[in-house]
Amino acid sequence: MGLVGKNWKALREKQKLGNARWEPNKRLAWHQIEHLRNLRRTQPEEWTKTKLARYFGISLPAVGRILHSKFEGSDETRERQDAKANRQIKERREKHLEKLREQWASDDGAHTKPN
């Protein structure tokens, strides 16, 4: 018998994850979460879940979890999550800059201005 009822998506996801916790690749800061929820609440026709996922650079399941969650978190929880999100942003930025530096170094000056 297939999965039925309101919780079929949650059950299906639990089956996929098994005992592992859901760990998103990217964390959003609380102001980003609030912005995502506000966009969806005020302009649902324009801000579809797919568009929100692309805009914030997160997965579609992550958008669904954020929108369906009523969790607000204490100030301490928000600060901790913001710190994690900011650390991830910094790490991604550093990786991106390192890749650019490697590309520039391997171009042997192909993109420099002529004299």
Say which DSSP state 48 is in: -
Sign of CA dihedral 13, 14, 16, 20: positive
Q: Is residue 9 part of a domain?
A: no
Q: Determine the Cα–Cα distance for residues 84 and 109; give it in Å rounded to an integer.
A: 37
- Tokens 């954020």 label which residue? 66
Q: Determine the Cα–Cα distance for residues 47 and 38; give it in Å rounded to an integer.
A: 10
If you count DSSP H runs as helices and E runs as strands, how many of each does the chain have, helices first? 5, 0
Q: Is residue 8 part of a domain?
A: no
Q: Is residue 12 part of a domain?
A: no
Taking the whole predicted model, whether its pTM rises above 0.75 is answered as no
Residue 72: the pLDDT is 77
Q: What is the per-residue pLDDT across 17-61, written as a single tens digit (0 to 9) for each?
A: 555 555 666 778 888 889 999 999 999 999 999 999 999 988 888
- What is the extent of the structural domain holding 96? 25-106
pLDDT-derived band at 1 (thresholds 50, 70, 90) equals: very low
Looking at the structure of the chain, the number of domains it has is 1
Structure tokens at 72: 């607000």
Q: What is the per-residue pLDDT across 76-112, written as a single tens digit (0 to 9) for each?
A: 887 887 888 888 888 888 988 998 888 888 876 555 5
Say which DSSP state 56 is in: H
Q: Is residue 15 part of a domain?
A: no
Pick the more confident residue, 84 or 7: 84
- Please determine, for residue 14, whether its predicted confidence score (pLDDT) is greater than 90: no
Q: Determine the Cα–Cα distance for residues 41 and 34; give it in Å rounded to an integer.
A: 10
Residue 84: the pLDDT is 85
Q: Is residue 5 part of a domain?
A: no
